[in-house]
Amino acid sequence: MTVGSGARVTRPIDPTRSGYIFAGWYREFACLNAWDFSADTVAANVTLYAKWSLAIETPTYAVTFNSQGGSIVQPVIVNVTSGSRITKPAIDPTRAGYVFGGWHREPACWTAWDFSTDTVTANVILYAKWTPISNTNPPVTVVTPVNSGGGGCDAGIGSVVMLALMAGVVAAQKRK
């Protein structure tokens, strides 16, 4: 590149080198004094030297969300750098007849994943925990009123069984 004396040099496109990170242009081979393209001017022939830093790659891992028969969550797979925390999917999965109980480290759901503290250090599959919805209401029994045998409904004779559903419990009451 040729420039006139006292002119500024246009910054070239950053070079690339496999296994290294470009760290700037310098005035000398030892890379002690960086060239400032916005202020430095050329007074004589100048050679600029590229400074390189060894690239230390942080491994990345895949985190997969397995809903174990529930609806698919988005995203299904997240790629994160080692040592990072992950964000819980925005929407919990659903499954007919079950309640979602969080994300766990193993299919049997023994160990819950704590999104606020757990970090990813290897490929991880998180499994949805499901608890069946139990039927807390006992079966309803239909009882036919019994009378004294007079052929009609005689509220004054015999007993009438009344059914009342309160909080899922069948209550029977005998009238005198």
Q: Where along the chain do the CATH 2.60.40.4270 domains lie?
A: 1-57, 60-132
Distances (CA, A) of 13 to 20, 45, 47, 56, 57: 16, 20, 16, 23, 23
Q: Is the pLDDT of residue 157 over 60?
A: no
32 against 150, higher pLDDT: 32
The rounded distance, in Å, linking the Cα atoms of 1 and 125 is 54
Q: Residues 105, 77: contact at Cβ < 8 Å?
A: no
6 against 115, higher pLDDT: 115
Sign of CA dihedral 112, 113, 117, 120: positive
For the 60-132 domain, the top CATH level (class) is mainly beta
> 60-66 and 77-81 as β-strands: parallel, antiparallel, unpaired?
antiparallel
| pLDDT tens, position by position, 46-104 | 899 999 998 887 889 999 999 999 999 988 888 899 999 999 999 999 999 999 999 99
Q: Does 1-57 carry CATH code 2.60.40.4270?
A: yes
The rounded distance, in Å, linking the Cα atoms of 98 and 92 is 12
> 161-166 and 169-174 as β-strands: parallel, antiparallel, unpaired?
antiparallel
Tokens (6 digits) for 72: 């698919």
pLDDT score recorded for residue 173: 37
> 20-26 and 49-54 as β-strands: parallel, antiparallel, unpaired?
antiparallel
pLDDT score recorded for residue 54: 87
135 against 149, higher pLDDT: 135
| pLDDT tens, position by position, 124-139 | 999 999 999 986 665 5
The rounded distance, in Å, linking the Cα atoms of 119 and 40 is 46
Q: Is the pLDDT of residue 164 over 60?
A: no
